[in-house]
Amino acid sequence: TSIILWEIEKIFFTFFYIMVHFSMNLAQEAILEPVQYHWMYLLR
């Protein structure tokens, strides 16, 4: 299965990049809260 994913990633590489970024944002929102409710910068 990893070979198939590698072949697909060669064709649709932007999709895989977006999915990694999306999963990181989901983890951050699960820990902190939805984005609109926490500060983008820690210090002003």
pLDDT score at 24: 74
pLDDT score at 12: 79
Q: CA-to-CA distance for 17 and 24, rounded, in angstroms?
A: 11
Distances (CA, A) of 44 to 12, 29, 33, 36: 39, 21, 20, 17
pLDDT score at 22: 78
Per-position pLDDT tens, the chain of length 44: 678 878 877 887 777 777 777 777 777 777 776 666 556 666 55
pLDDT score at 36: 62
pLDDT score at 9: 79
The answer, as to whether pTM is greater than 0.75, is no
Would you kindly state where each structural domain of the chain is located, as residue ranges?
2-37
